[in-house]
Amino acid sequence: MIAIIDYGSGNVGAIMNILRQRKIPHMLTGDPKELAEADRFILPGVGAFDPTMETLQRSGIVDALSEEVLGKGKKALGICVGMHLLAEGSDEGSLPGLGWIPGCVRKIDARRLNSKPKLPHMGWNSVAITPGAALFDGIDADRGFYFLHSYYFDAADPAHVKARVSYGDDLPCAVERENVFGMQFHPEKSHANGTQVFVNFADAA
């Protein structure tokens, strides 16, 4: 059972549609008491850092979710802002993140880019995948994924970076630390590649 954490994100319907089509058991919940029913979790990805953290904190779900993921070793997947929540903090806000993967979320600095693409980074991009990355089996890296962001996850340990995207610079776009995964792109908007990511997450041992 996958629990999609409900904090008002606007893309949960698309995620649920994919899981329903692939007959993957799931539920949408913001109730800490229901988390024990799931064996993996998705933190969906539309919103800003501080308001999303505030919603999680008000719901009382942070401690319960941390116990399930860090204490019991259940898997978690953060998407876009959901990925940002996994960090220790973000340039987008002042609140601390969950800190499940060491590092901070940085704003893309257009002054440092090799070229001058528009921000936010929006649209399809190919990705460079680290061999053996757990959630990328069966992925067409050249076709890539759909992105919409102005921030990236600056992981403290480069070994936690499992995919990168070229957009005026070589930017991390997927991270992994043991049972915790994060993706900057939107798999729910990425057609066959995105569907495969969710299948891989559901099947990951």
Domains of the chain: 2-203 (3.40.50.880)
**Range with lowest mean pLDDT among 62-66, 107-111, 146-150, 156-160:** 107-111
Task: Kindly tell me if the per-residue pLDDT of 109 is higher than 80.
Answer: no
Q: Which residue has the tokens 């057609």?
A: 191
3-state secondary structure of 88: coil
| Residues with a known catalytic role | 80, 186, 188
Cα 117 from Cα 119, distance rounded (Å) = 7
Task: Kindly tell me if the per-residue pLDDT of 115 is higher than 70.
Answer: no
What pLDDT sits at residue 33? 93
Taking alpha carbons only, the member of 83, 51, 88, 76 closest to residue 151 is 83
Read out DSSP for 99-152? -SSSEEEEE--GGG-SS---SSEEEEE--EEPTT-TT-TT--TTT-EEEEESEE
Cα 177 from Cα 120, distance rounded (Å) = 27
Q: Model-level pTM greater than 0.85?
A: yes
pLDDT in tens, 134-190: 899 999 999 999 998 889 999 999 999 999 998 878 899 999 999 999 999 999 999
Please, are residues 136 and 127 in contact by the beta-carbon 8 Å criterion? no
Task: Kindly tell me if the per-residue pLDDT of 113 is higher than 70.
Answer: no
Q: What angle do CA 23, 10, 194 make, to 5 degrees?
A: 45
